Amino acid sequence: MHKRNKKKILNILLIPDNEASPKSFRIRYSTLKFLVVATGIVVIALLIGIVTYSQVLQGAMETDQVEQENTRLREQLQKVGQLQNELNLLKKYNEKVRNSLQGYVKFADKPDDQSISPGKLLQANLKKVSIFENVPISPPVVGFVSQEYDWPAHSGIDIVAPAGTPIKAAANGVVVFDGWTYEKGFLVILYHDGEYLTSYWHNARNAVSANQRVKQGDVIAYLGNSGESSSGPHLHFEIWRKGQSINPRNFLSDLTVGE
């Protein structure tokens, strides 16, 4: 005997709280199963999409961070290269000043290039350069030397140049004297940190005042022929340290003053 297949149907009755009539729905079990499966598929697809999007977003953020880090590293490498170039220049300058100032400036031991970073090595050399700025190594005027140092008869060197030529400070310092004397004419005396004094005689006129702070290369006077002991336009230049006269050639021999 042939059995008849009956489709199972689910009756759903909705009873509202108010006095409205109840409502009923009929849905086949097969349809309900389809809806449940479809809903599950949609939920799973959404979850997969959210996870995938999160991973993509995280990857994009990591890529951006890597690019920023690469940019920062490139900038640091450029700075290191600049520091290395400056360090090489400082080494050359260091050697030049050592040769011209030997016996007058006590240098610290040379740092081990392999044991410290380029930045720290540059800082150490910059500190040395600040010492050189207070040592009279810059020629006060460019010309030729007409009379050399000959202590005690001649306590400096005479540099001949055109009248009115600017006379410049040989190093950073403070003006301790700005005035005129019968023998020396207009003169300027500078004190430099590190116990050095420099003296500039026979000026046409002075361009600084007492207690004024000057930097290496600043104009302090103009070359002239003032004073009883002057026989023509020139600069008489002296260097003193701890009360002792020093031959300026020891400082200027490697620079541009020449005969």
| Per-residue tokens: 153 | 């008869």
**Inter-CA distances, 254 with 129, 147, 165, 168, 258, Å:** 17, 18, 22, 18, 9
The one-digit pLDDT tens for each residue of the chain (259 residues) are 445 555 677 777 777 777 677 777 777 777 778 888 888 898 998 899 888 888 888 888 888 787 888 788 788 777 777 777 666 666 665 565 455 444 444 444 444 445 555 555 544 544 454 567 888 988 999 988 988 999 888 999 999 999 999 999 999 999 999 999 999 999 999 999 878 999 999 999 999 999 999 999 999 999 999 999 898 999 999 999 988 999 998 887 544 444 4
CB count, 10 Å around CB of 112?
8
CB count, 10 Å around CB of 254?
14
Q: How far apart are CA 142 and CA 234, in angstroms?
A: 11
Question: 13 has which bridge partners?
Answer: 24
Please, which residues have CB within 8 angstroms of residue 49's CB and are 6 or more apart in sequence? none
Q: Is 103 helix (H, G, I), strand (E, B) or coil?
A: coil
pTM of the model: 0.51
Which DSSP string do the residues of 71-91 spell out, in sequence order? HHHHHHHHHHHHHHHHHHHHH
Tell me the residue length of the chain: 259
Q: How far apart are CA 178 and CA 89, in angstroms?
A: 37
pLDDT the model gives residue 75: 82
Give helix 118-132 / helix 29-101 axis angle, nearest 10°: 30
Q: How far apart are CA 135 and CA 33, in angstroms?
A: 97
Question: 178 has which bridge partners?
Answer: 188
CATH architecture group of domain 144-252: Distorted Sandwich (2.70)
pLDDT the model gives residue 168: 96
Handedness of CA 148, 149, 155, 160 (dihedral sign): positive
Please, which residues have CB within 8 angstroms of residue 126's CB and are 6 or more apart in sequence? 90
Q: How far apart are CA 140 and CA 237, in angstroms?
A: 8
> How big is the CA angle at 177 (ends 174 and 180), to the nearest 5 degrees?
150
Strand positions, DSSP E, 98-163: 144-147, 157-160
Q: What are the boundaries of each domain within the chain?
A: 144-252
Question: 219 has which bridge partners?
Answer: 168
